[in-house]
């Protein structure tokens, strides 16, 4: 694979990991959050500071960033997940902005608004590939287990979920923490890919972009999230001229999708080989059926 395509793969992979988290949170649990760029930022800065200042091994630093993001997610979620939709949304938005302002303010540690540079380029193809595989399998098995069923139950009908004994608060917290850990993890990889960090990389627009990606790909589908990530990451690479209009197009796309076809590219279903095989079998049956009739 050429360096260019490796680079693209790394970008898609990192974005996919964050989007998986947002997908679990928004697509499967129906929690709309604006804090995910904030969690990414926590993972990115934590790992970058650990590797540059304290010579901590790269993988350990990324892990530390992901865990810290998860802990902060646990704390924040415990405080705010009891709040209703809009109130919850505004607290996550506030959280994201606060993290940014805070990182700008504590200049001695983070380099402030001027940025943090000199991060070693550790993130390579292999580590991203392994991360994506692990993140995807964990997300897939989580969704296809009682945990995932509890989350979709909350999405579909929260009162009924409660009525069948699901601790909705605890399950929402699970989704929130998982999304925070994924964001922190991706943030760590991103920092050591970019080799340079600025608090404003992880602003509100970044959080919006993550949700936009999930919606374009299709809510309630990990496959959809993958497609969404590919589209959102690759389009501006393929059509360089479009980059000015990039966010404008995504904005319009989201409005159109959510009003006209809320399932996006591939929402509320998953790609599965067995289903495809079954579909082909049925197809051959149908065609052979018509042949018999014809004969």
Partner 1 sequence: MFLQQLINGISVGGIYALIATGYALIYSLLGFSNWAHGEVAMFGAYIALTLVTRLSSPFLGALAFGILAAGVASVLNEKIAYKHIRDKGSPTMFLMIAAMGISTTYQNGAMVVFGPKFQMFPSMFDVTTIQLGSVSIGILDVISLITSAIALILLELLVNKSKVGLGIRTVASNSYTASLMGININRYFSLVFLIAGLLAGSAGVLLGLKYSVYPTMGNVGLKAFIASVLGGLGSVRGAIIGAIIIGVLETFVSGYLNSGLRDLFTFGLLILILLIKPSGLMGVDVEDKA
Partner 2 sequence: MQINGLNKNFGGVKAIDSFNLQLEKGKIHGLIGPNGAGKTTIFNTITGIYKPDAGEIRFKGKDVTGLKPFQVAQLGVGRTFQNIRLFATLNVMENVLIASNLDITYNMLDSFLRLPKYKKEEKALREKAMELLKIVGLQDLVDAQANSLPYGHQRKLEIARAVALNPSLLLLDEPAAGMNKEESVELVEFIKEIKERFDLTVLMIEHHMDVVAGLCDHVTVLNFGKTIASGRLDEVKNNKMVVEAYLGEEK
According to CB under 8 A, which one of 150, 179, 214, 229 is a site residue for partner 2? Answer: 150
CB of 175 to partner 1, least distance (A): 14
CB of 272 to partner 2, least distance (A): 14
Q: Which is nearer to partner 2, 1 or 159 (CB)?
A: 159
User: What phi, psi does 20 have (nearest 5°)?
Assistant: -55, -45
d(CA 189, CA 272): 29
- The CB density around residue 218, as the number of other CB atoms within 10 Å, is 26
State whether residue 117 is helix, strand or coil: strand
141 is a site residue for partner 2 (CB under 8 A): yes
The DSSP element (H or E) to which 116 belongs, if any, is strand 116-117
Give the CA angle between residues 204, 8, 249 to the nearest 5°. Answer: 45
259 is a site residue for partner 1 (CB under 8 A): yes
According to CB under 8 A, which one of 130, 234, 252, 277 is a site residue for partner 1? Answer: 252
CB of 162 to partner 2, least distance (A): 4
29 is a site residue for partner 2 (CB under 8 A): no
Q: Which is nearer to partner 1, 102 or 129 (CB)?
A: 102
Q: At what angle do helices 125-143 and 222-238 cross, to 10 degrees?
A: 150
User: Virtual CA dihedral for 122, 126, 130, 132, nearest 10 degrees?
Assistant: 80
Question: Rule CB under 8 A: which of 195-224 touch partner 1?
Answer: 204-205, 208, 211-212, 215
Indicate the DSSP class of residue 257.
Answer: H
According to CB under 8 A, which one of 9, 94, 138, 235 is a site residue for partner 1? Answer: 94
Tokens found for residue 217: 């790909």
According to CB under 8 A, which one of 30, 172, 193, 206 is a site residue for partner 1? Answer: 30
C-beta of residue 137 within 8 angstroms of C-beta of residue 16 = no
Give which of partner 2, partner 1, none residue 58 binds (C-beta under 5 to 8 Å, depending on kind). Answer: none
C-beta of residue 181 within 8 angstroms of C-beta of residue 174 = no
Q: Which is nearer to partner 2, 164 or 295 (CB)?
A: 164
How many residues at the interface with partner 2, by CB under 8 A? 25
CB of 118 to partner 1, least distance (A): 24
Question: Rule CB under 8 A: which of 137-176 touch partner 1?
Answer: 159
| Spatial CA neighbour of 231 closest among 273, 264, 190 | 264
d(CA 204, CA 58): 28
Give which of partner 2, partner 1, none residue 74 binds (C-beta under 5 to 8 Å, depending on kind). Answer: none
Q: Which residues bind partner 1 (CB under 8 A)?
A: 26, 30, 32, 79-80, 82-87, 89-91, 93-95, 97-98, 101-102, 104-105, 159, 204-205, 208, 211-212, 215, 244-248, 250-255, 258-260, 262
């Amino acid at each position: 694979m050429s360096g260019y395509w490796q680079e693209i793969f790394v970008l898609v992979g990192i974005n996919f990991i964050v989007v998986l988290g947002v997908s679990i949170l928004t697509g499967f649990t129906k929690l709309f959050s604006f804090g995910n760029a904030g969690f990414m930022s926590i993972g990115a800065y934590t790992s970058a500071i650990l590797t540059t200042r304290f010579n901590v091994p790269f993988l350990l630093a990324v892990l530390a960033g992901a865990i810290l993001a998860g802990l902060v997610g646990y704390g924040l979620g415990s405080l705010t997940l009891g709040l209703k939709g809009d109130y919850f949304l505004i607290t996550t938005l506030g959280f994201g902005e606060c993290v940014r302002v805070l990182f700008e303010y504590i200049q001695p540690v983070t380099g402030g608004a001027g940025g943090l540079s000199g991060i070693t380029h550790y993130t390579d193809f292999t580590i991203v590939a392994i991360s994506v595989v692990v993140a995807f399998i964990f997300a897939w098995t989580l969704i296809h287990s009682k945990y995932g069923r509890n989350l979709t139950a909350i999405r579909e009908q929260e009162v009924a979920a409660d009525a069948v004994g699901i601790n909705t608060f605890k399950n929402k917290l699970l989704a929130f923490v998982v999304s925070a850990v994924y964001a922190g993890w991706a943030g760590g990889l991103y920092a050591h890919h970019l080799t340079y960090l600025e608090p404003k990389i992880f602003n509100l627009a970044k959080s919006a972009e993550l949700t936009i990606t999930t919606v374009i790909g299709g809510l309630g589908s990990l496959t959809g999230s993958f497609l969404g990530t590919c589209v959102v990451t690759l389009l501006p690479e393929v059509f360089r001229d479009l980059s000015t209009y990039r966010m404008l197009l995504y904005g319009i796309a989201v409005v159109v999708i959510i009003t006209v076809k809320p399932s996006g590219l591939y929402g509320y279903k998953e790609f599965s080989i067995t289903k495809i095989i079954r579909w082909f079998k049925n197809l051959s049956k149908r065609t052979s059926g018509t042949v018999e009739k014809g004969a």
